[in-house]
Amino acid sequence: MSLKAIEKRMRKYRKSTERNYLPRWIKRTLTGAIVVGLLIIVFGAAFIVYYLNEPRGVDLAVSAPSDVARGVPFELDVNITNISGAPMQNGLLTVTLPEGLLLWSSKINGNIYSESIGSVGTGSLTKKVYKIIAVGGLNSRQDLAVSFSYLNQNGTRFEVKSGAAVLVSSEVVSASVVKPDQILNGSSFSFTVNYVNNSDFDFPNLVLEADFPDSYTFDSASEPPSSLSNVWQLGSSLARSTGTIAIKGKFSNSSASSFDIPLKFFTVLNGKNYQVADYDASFSLSPSPIGISIFTNGMDHYVAKPVDTLNYVIQYNNMSGIALTNVTVKAALSGFGNWSSVKTDGSFDPNVRTITWTSATTPPLQFISPGGTGRLNFSLNVSSAIPTSLQGLSTKNLYVRVVASVSSPSVPYYVSGNSTFAETSVETKISSLVYLNARALLQDPGSGIVNARSFPPKAGVPTTYTLHWLLSNYGNDLSEVKISAPLPPGVTFTDIAKSNIASSTPAYDTSTQSMVWNVGDVVANSGLITGPIEGIFQVQATPDASDIGSYKTILGKTILSGNDNFTGTSVNASYEPLTTLLPTDLTVSPGEGVVTQR
């Protein structure tokens, strides 16, 4: 190609590139315009879809009182209006209540209630009314939530929500207590509970519960309690009606100057009690004219063992300001005591289990000067015998209770009545009676375990034995019960074990070279009717030369440990080591278990 032709082509190429070239800013501007256009298209399509499907045609209106009384039902109104141009399908209405609100219906449990509404036609109104009762605390705010979900014409489910808040501003029942001007520590007194239904609602069943403190002893009431000496079924309470109940008892605590008795009112809903009101009755105590106290084995609170002797001291003090004459002191006994073991210088009546001291038995009681004191003593043994009757075997939580009282016909001017009186009591808790037994058998067909018999035992010759641990427990519930015993030299576990409880069986602990049975919880009176709790395991014992001429030990000392749930103390028991003597195996003759030479 000639030089002119080449130059001509180059001129054409330069003109072409100059004609197609665009500046960079123009390209960027064009690219941005394209992206914006695409975004407009996408968001426009999404808006159209949302506009077609959003629940703009539903009006969910919820209405409830702003404040309510605890225990009085109120109405929750829910209105669902379809203001769209299309019907709503498969409507579901859900009401969610806080802990302080309950639906008043025997068919409803829990705090969430859902109800199928079905179809809601165009322009129609669906109205629901729920009766609700407030059981939350006084002055508490209770927020409830309501939601309505449905399918639109395109088959998409939507949900609208609303709610309301109510304030529990008052109590439906108000109470007051009428009490004596003077209440003596340790002396009986009466007080009257007056209650009023302040609402326009008729309660079908009103319940009163008096939470008596530990030092208060209930005597009687104008209406007998329905249970536990502190619960009264008051029956129906009509709107604006009043009621009253008189209660008699005594408070005995020489160190107290006042005490409270909380009173609680309940209504019954769905078979459960819900509190609707409470009132704290406060009482001030005047010093008792006679101080009285009891000590058990020198202590205010003593925990006894089943083999203990309980030594009691009753101490009295004349604080009346006058001389007391012809004083009588009594000690009423109850619980798990051996009443035939009572020792006292007073007069003991075993029929009513009461010791009485008078001036005839104790001359110092004839005259006690102001500020004078005295001490009386008696003792008894804890019963170690298990009852044989089924009623006795149902006894749970062992104790010995002493109720001591002191009285005199001498009455100071500030005490009403014809005698000066004071009373106190003490309850001594007793540890559970645990019976542990261990035995070894050579022939044990009842266990289903077959032993390899080589008897009399011979040095160097192995023989297998079946070992049994048996446990019975009377009185209190136990926890974390464990039984263990070491395996002596020459004795090994054969990995065969069983028990009559599902939780565990005896097992070998390599770290302690012991058989261990983690029994766990043992309820009161286990093993007394249907037979003891039993663990069985097999061991193989091989005597050596040092055992010749004696009985071979095949299980070390058995130790039981655990916790007594009633007394809060530990419980322990033990059983002596087991040898080839085998006294419980009737197939073995006495002396046959002595180890011989091979």
Residue 36 domain-assigned? no
**Measured distance CA(93)–CA(506) in Å, rounded:** 58
Residue 81 domain-assigned? yes
Choose the final residue of a domain: 411, 429, 447.
429
Residue 22 domain-assigned? no
pLDDT at site 229: 81
The CATH number assigned to the domain holding 220 equals 2.60.40.2310
Distances (CA, A) of 207 to 232, 241, 263, 265, 395: 6, 15, 10, 6, 30
Residue 575 domain-assigned? yes
Highest mean pLDDT (candidates 48-62, 203-217, 472-486) = 472-486
Quick check: 202 and 180 in contact, CB under 8 A? Answer: no
Please check whether residues 110 and 226 belong to one and the same domain. no
Quick check: 95 and 142 in contact, CB under 8 A? Answer: no
Please check whether residues 487 and 418 belong to one and the same domain. no
567 or 50: whose pLDDT is higher? 567
90 or 355: whose pLDDT is higher? 355
Pairing mode of beta strands 290-296, 373-382: unpaired
**Measured distance CA(71)–CA(198) in Å, rounded:** 11
Residue 589 domain-assigned? no
pLDDT at site 543: 95
Residue 535 domain-assigned? yes
What single-letter DSSP state applies at residue 125?
Answer: E
Please check whether residues 164 and 261 belong to one and the same domain. no
Choose the final residue of a domain: 429, 444, 472.
429
The CATH number assigned to the domain holding 514 equals 2.60.40.1510
The CATH number assigned to the domain holding 372 equals 2.60.40.10
CB under 8 Å to 557, separation ≥6 — which residues?
485, 486, 574, 575, 576, 577
pLDDT tens digits, one per residue of 483-532: 999 999 999 999 999 999 988 999 999 999 999 999 999 999 888 777 89
Supply 15's token pair.
């003109």
Structural domain boundaries, residue 350: 291-429
pLDDT bucket at 3, cuts 50 / 70 / 90: low
pLDDT bucket at 88, cuts 50 / 70 / 90: confident
Please check whether residues 448 and 558 belong to one and the same domain. yes
pLDDT at site 2: 61
In the block, tokens 């969910």 appear at 60
CB under 8 Å to 280, separation ≥6 — which residues?
260, 261, 262, 263
pLDDT bucket at 306, cuts 50 / 70 / 90: confident
Q: Is the dihedral of CA 125, 131, 136, 137 positive or negative?
A: positive
Supply 485's token pair.
């015993």
**Measured distance CA(316)–CA(407) in Å, rounded:** 11
pLDDT at site 28: 62
Residue 71 domain-assigned? yes
The share of the chain scoring above pLDDT 70, in percent, equals 88
pLDDT at site 186: 75
Quick check: 447 and 525 in contact, CB under 8 A? Answer: no
3-class secondary structure for 59-118?
Answer: EEEEECCCEEEECCEEEEEEEEEECCCCCEEEEEEEEECCCCEEECCCCCCCCEEEEEEE
Residue 473 domain-assigned? yes
Please check whether residues 73 and 194 belong to one and the same domain. no
568: nearest Cα among 299, 337, 303, 383: 303
Q: Which helix (H) or strand (E) holds 4?
A: helix 3-20
pLDDT bucket at 413, cuts 50 / 70 / 90: confident
Whether 473 shows a pLDDT value over 70: the answer reads: yes
3-class secondary structure for 14-51?
Answer: HHHHHHHCCCHHHHHHHHHHHHHHHHHHHHHHHHHHHH
Whether 294 shows a pLDDT value over 50: the answer reads: yes
pLDDT at site 56: 54
Please check whether residues 377 and 454 belong to one and the same domain. no
Q: Which of 29-33, 439-443, 446-450, 542-546 has the lowest mean pLDDT?
A: 29-33
Cα 543 from chain centre: 53
| Phi and psi torsions of 511, nearest 5° | -70, -30
pLDDT tens digits, one per residue of 16-53: 544 444 455 555 655 655 555 555 554 444 444 444 44
pLDDT at site 49: 42
135 or 330: whose pLDDT is higher? 330
377: nearest Cα among 405, 406, 355, 399: 355
pLDDT at site 53: 44
What single-letter DSSP state applies at residue 447?
Answer: G
Please check whether residues 161 and 211 belong to one and the same domain. no
Please check whether residues 336 and 277 belong to one and the same domain. no
Please check whether residues 423 and 543 belong to one and the same domain. no
Total number of domains in the chain: 4
Please check whether residues 409 and 318 belong to one and the same domain. yes
pLDDT bucket at 482, cuts 50 / 70 / 90: very high
Please check whether residues 302 and 327 belong to one and the same domain. yes
pLDDT bucket at 310, cuts 50 / 70 / 90: very high
pLDDT bucket at 393, cuts 50 / 70 / 90: low
557 or 48: whose pLDDT is higher? 557
**Measured distance CA(475)–CA(382) in Å, rounded:** 13
CB under 8 Å to 428, separation ≥6 — which residues?
296, 302, 303, 304, 310, 335, 399, 400, 401, 402
Q: Which of 5-9, 129-133, 558-562 has the lowest mean pLDDT?
A: 5-9
Choose the final residue of a domain: 264, 284, 304.
284
Please check whether residues 116 and 62 belong to one and the same domain. yes
